[in-house]
């Protein structure tokens, strides 16, 4: 029987956001990251959509205790999609891999009402920097669509529950990449 694994392409690349044992570098072919929103969340988040021309970097990890239910709860806004044949990885054991994606037709383009949280983006880019280096962070930006969405600068008061402290160098990478794609940064409104 194949061991259950999942492919992470966003915050799950950052090992500081979870305690999944033994994550491994992997690539998912035929899919592309995109910023989206649903009625389930007030902010934009990453999902993947089919794209035959794109391969994205990420991480695979064993589903703890083979408990898909617990992982499904963490990824509650997504559907679990079988992806074993689309993923290249270094393991030589029999594994079955799934990726989490919001089904087509159940997500929309982010807007000022559903912005990208900078605290979330920081976590994702920090993960790519740690796992894939500066080139990996650049590939993350290049293989992700939806950058026309505004980015809410919540670094002073992070809204992302698994936010992490970035080094000055990591912050500079995020800020430089956002400037290169001409992202629109917006400030939080005062409540």
* pTM for the whole structure: 0.93
pLDDT digits (tens, 9 = 90+) for 137-171: 999 999 999 999 999 999 999 999 999 999 999 99
Query: Tens digits of per-residue pLDDT, 11-48?
Result: 999 999 888 888 999 999 999 999 998 877 789 989 99
Beta strands in the chain (DSSP E): 3-8, 24-36, 45-62, 79-82, 87-88, 95-101, 116-117, 144-145, 151-152, 185-186
User: Structure tokens of 91?
Assistant: 């393991």
Strand pairing report for 87-88 and 24-36: antiparallel
Question: Domain locations in the chain?
Answer: 3-186
Domain 3-186, CATH: 3.10.490.10
């Amino acid at each position: 029987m194949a061991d259950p694994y999942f492919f992470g392409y966003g915050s799950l690349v950052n090992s500081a956001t979870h305690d999944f044992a033994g994550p491994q570098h992997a690539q998912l072919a035929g899919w592309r990251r995109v910023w989206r929103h649903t009625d389930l969340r007030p902010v934009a988040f990453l999902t993947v959509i089919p794209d035959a021309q794109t391969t994205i970097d990420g991480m695979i990890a064993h589903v703890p205790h083979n408990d898909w239910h617990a992982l499904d709860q963490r990824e509650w806004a997504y559907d679990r999609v079988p992806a074993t044949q689309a993923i290249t990885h270094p393991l030589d054991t029999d594994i079955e891999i799934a990726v989490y994606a919001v089904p087509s037709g159940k997500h929309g383009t982010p807007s000022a009402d559903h912005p990208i949280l900078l605290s979330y983006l920081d976590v994702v880019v920090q993960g790519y920097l740690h796992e894939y280096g500066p080139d990996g962070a650049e590939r993350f930006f290049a293989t992700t669509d939806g950058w026309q969405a505004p980015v809410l600068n919540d670094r002073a008061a992070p809204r992302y529950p698994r936010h992490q402290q970035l080094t000055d160098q990591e912050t500079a990478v995020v800020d430089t990449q956002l400037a290169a794609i001409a992202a629109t940064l917006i400030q939080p409104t005062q409540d």
